[in-house]
Amino acid sequence: MRDLVLYCKSYKKDFLRLKRLLESIAKFNVDEIPFYISTPSVDRDLLIDLLGGRGYVWISDESIIAANPHAPLGIEKTKSGSLSQQVIKSEFWRLGLCETYVCLDSDCIFIKDFSKSDFISPDGNPYTVIYQNKEYFQLAVDRGFAKAPEQLKAEGDRVKALFGRHGPNYYCPCPPFIWSAAVWRSLEEQFLKPNNMTFWDACTPSHPETLLYLEALLNYRAIPLLPIEQLFRIYYYDWHYFLLRRIGEAPEKLRANYLGLIYQSSWDLSLDYGKSPKSIPSKVLKKIKRFARYLQSYI
C-alpha cells in the first residue's frame, strides 16, 4: 500500500479538462506521485483516444462501487450524476491502494512544482485543508452574491447537526482534498454502521461529502488535525474570476501562494467535450449575463 497517490474521478464531458490536468501533473510532479483516474468503463476507449495511455493508472468507477460490499447493486443508477461522483470519489479508499489520496477534479491545474511534503507532514500524517471561508463569504456579500455563502452556511449547519457538534462551521468546498483512508474508515465504523447506513445513504445534496469527511475527522480524530489553507486558487463563479483579474491576479503571481488553480467547469464551458444540449437562445442569454457580470467587475 502506498502512503500517497493522486486521484481524479472524471467522465467524458470533462476529458479535455482532464487532459490539461494530466499535462500539468506530468510537468510539476517532482516526486512522481502515482496518478489514478477513474471513469465509467464505457468511457475508457475515449479516454485513451484523448489522453493516451501514459502518466496515469485507469480504474473503473464500477470497481470502486463494488468495493463496498454493503452498497446495493446498481445504486449509482438511482442517484444523480453529481451525487454519484461525490460518493465514488469518497469510496476510492476502499480499493486499499493508499493510506492517503489527493482527490482532484478534472478542472484542476497545477502551476508549479509539488511534492509529497505539500500533502504529508514530516511525521507521516496528512495535512487537512480546513478553514471558515470568511474571505470568500464577505467578498460575495460585498458584490451582491450572498446566496452562495448562505447555502454553504446552511450545509455546514446541517452536517454539523448530524454529528451533534457545536461550534464554528468549517469548510473545504473545493479540491484538492487531502483525504485519509483512516478518516473514511472511522466514519464507516463509528457512524454509518451503527446507523445501518452506507455512504450512499449519508451523502446527499444536503450533506455533501466534503463536510462529512471534515466532521468525521473533527468528531472521531482518526488522524491528528494538521490544518492548512486552500492549496489551489478557486474561481467559484465568473464574477469572482473577473473581479480578481481586475485587481491584477494572474497565474504567474498565484505561484507565490498556491500550487494550482481551478476555473470551475460550472461556469467555464470552454473545454466541454461534445455538443452542448443547450439551445441557441439559451447560449446567447448566458453570454449576455456573463458580459454584464464582466462589466460589473469595474464597479
List the grid coordinates of 135.
474571505
Would you state the torsion angle of the CA atoms of residues 106, 113, 99, 57, taken in this order, to the nearest 10 degrees?
50
pLDDT at residue 273 tops 80: no
Of the listed ranges 56-60, 189-193, 201-205, 274-278, the one predicted with least confidence: 274-278
Strands 108-110 and 57-60: unpaired
Residue predicted with more confidence, 148 or 97: 97
How does DSSP assign 247-285, residue by residue? TT--HHHHTTT-SEEEE-TTT--TT--S---S-HHHHHH
CA torsion sign for 278, 284, 290, 292 is negative
Nearest to 151 by CA among 169, 167, 135, 124: 169
Q: What confidence score (pLDDT) does residue 33 get?
A: 98
Contacts of 241 (CB under 8 A, 6+ apart): 235, 263, 267, 268
Number of neighbouring beta carbons within 10 Å of residue 59:
19
Mean pLDDT of all residues in the chain? 89
- Distance, in Å, from the CA atom of 57 to the CA atom of 40, rounded to the nearest integer, reads 14
- pLDDT average, residue stretch 60-78: 92
Q: What confidence score (pLDDT) does residue 263 get?
A: 82
How does DSSP assign 90-149, residue by residue? HHGGGG-SEEEEEEE-TTEEE-S-B-GGGTB-TTSPBPEE-B--HHHHHHHHHTT-THHH
- pLDDT average, residue stretch 4-13: 96
pLDDT at residue 292 tops 70: no
Of the listed ranges 108-122, 137-151, 157-171, the one predicted with least confidence: 137-151
CB-based contacts of 249-252 (< 8 A; 24+ apart in sequence): 251/111
Q: pLDDT tens digit string along 238-269?
A: 777 888 888 888 889 999 999 999 986 565 66
Q: Which amino acid is at 31?
A: D
pLDDT at residue 72 tops 90: no
- pLDDT average, residue stretch 109-134: 96
Contacts of 189 (CB under 8 A, 6+ apart): none
CATH topology of domain 2-126+172-199+227-296: Spore Coat Polysaccharide Biosynthesis Protein SpsA; Chain A (3.90.550)
178 — pLDDT class (breaks 50, 70, 90): very high
Q: What confidence score (pLDDT) does residue 74 get?
A: 86
In the numeric block, the cell 517532482 is attached to: 30
Q: What confidence score (pLDDT) does residue 288 get?
A: 56
Q: pLDDT tens digit string along 217-234?
A: 999 999 999 999 999 998
Of the listed ranges 15-19, 30-34, 143-147, 158-162, the one predicted with least confidence: 143-147
Is 60 in a helix, a strand, or coil?
strand
As beta bridge partners, residue 235 has 263
What is the b/e burial string over 30-46, where b = at least 16 CB atoms within 10 angstroms of the residue's CB?
Answer: eeebbbbbbbbeebeee
Q: Which amino acid is at 134?
A: K
- pLDDT average, residue stretch 55-60: 98
Residue predicted with more confidence, 234 or 187: 187
Q: Where are the domains of the chain?
A: 2-126+172-199+227-296
Q: Which amino acid is at 225?
A: L
